[in-house]
A = this chain, B = another copy of it.
Amino acid sequence: MIVPKILKPSKQDILDAQDRIKPYIHHTPVLSSQIINEITGRKVFFKCENFQKAGAFKSRGACNAVLSLPESELLKGVATHSSGNHAQALARAAKIKGITAHIVMPENSSKVKIDGVIYYNGKITFCRPTLEDRELTLEEVIRRTGATEIHPYNNLRIIAGQATACLEAITDIESLDLVIAPVGGGGLLSGTALAVHYFGKSIKVIAAEPVNADDAYQSFKTATFVPSVAPDTIADGLRTSLGSITYPIICNHVEDIVTVTEEGIIAAMRLVWERMKIIIEPSSAVPLAALIENKISERYKNICLIISGGNVDLNDLPWIKF
């Protein structure tokens, strides 16, 4: 039987990404909390990408993708559609190289996200809030400008960039036995799984996903790609479907995917805010929710959670009812 070779960044690709982006990103800290260790009965290490440039791990992949482009492509700029952290991260990466980032955003995007893109000089084109219109508008922008599309996750250089967060974590933390990452489109998760595969010895990777947006869980368990349809979760970074590149990497290198409730996500988010005094976005609370909801085997004792980002609309907190 011939096992098909899957497309994935190599060990060297991840090391190259780490060197390439080093001057432009933070080596983020690893924090822990005695109270959260008591609550979970494990040693829990938080890899704090909420302190990353532009507030999320997305700066790693975006920098790696932009800094890898040949001069000829750089001239015409880069483009993406995003209503979230990738938009700001790509605008920032483009600004570093002095090129234009064309960002297609739904017209109902929150002011804080629009302001974030404008802060980094991103050139916004608004579209109607449907996936179809986002894709059509992006196509039109690319046709008009010649910009290179930088997909938020289904891109080898994005994945190699996101892998560097976990690479830092497993280098900085001794004797880990598990890393838990949230999963949306799978860029962070596939990068995390590859970092552990190449550099992590006996460490395992488990993904955590909202049960209300459990397409990755379904795809993983049934071994058949299931798209995300009408996801209804507060974890706005995790509503997307896996990609053609991220899905096979996840199937090959992730130990398991578990799901958590909306209540669990909100409670875990609030616990981190109250006890650790750091601001994390709902997507970042999903791995801790998995621990608190007893979805993670007790054989794992030293666990790193990837805190994906800290971009939250402070006027709209999930525990405050209006």
Give me 15 A-to-B residue pairs in the complex whose CB atoms sit less than 8 angstroms apart, sorted by A's number. Answer: A51-B276, A51-B277, A55-B277, A112-B274, A273-B279, A274-B314, A277-B279, A277-B310, A278-B278, A278-B279, A314-B317, A314-B319, A315-B320, A317-B317, A322-B322
- Please measure, in the bound complex, the distance between the C-alpha atom of A277 and the C-alpha atom of B274, giving whole angstroms: 13
Task: Assess whether A233 is interfacial by the CB under 8 Å rule.
Answer: no
Copies in the complex: 2
Interface flags for A104-128 (1: CB within 8 Å of B; 0: not) read 0000000010000000000000000
Q: Mask for A305-322, Cβ within 8 A of B = 1, else 0?
A: 000001000110101101
A26 CB to closest chain B CB, in angstroms? Answer: 10
A317 CA to B276 CA, complexed, in Å: 18
A270 within 8 A of B: yes
Q: A238-289: which residues lie under 8 A (CB-CB) from chain B?
A: 270, 273-274, 276-280
Q: Check if A29 is an interface residue, CB within 8 A of chain B.
A: yes
Residue of B nearest to A33 (CB): B51
Q: Is A50 an interface residue (CB 8 A)?
A: yes
| A309 shortest CB reach to chain B, Å | 9
Bound-complex Cα distance A187 to B29 (A): 31
Query: Smallest CB–CB gap between A46 and chain B, Å?
Result: 12
Specify which chain B residues have a CB less than 8 angstroms from the CB of A29 in the assembled complex.
Answer: 29
Q: Which 6 A-B pairs have the closest CB atoms?
A: A277-B310, A277-B279, A50-B277, A278-B278, A51-B277, A273-B279
| Among A112, A277, A317, A322, residue most surrounded by chain B Cβ atoms (within 10 Å) | A277
CA distance A314 to B317 in the complex (A): 9
Query: A277 — which chain B residues lie within 8 A by C-beta?
Result: 50-51, 55, 278-280, 310
Give the residues in chain B near A319, CB-CB below 8 Å: 314-315
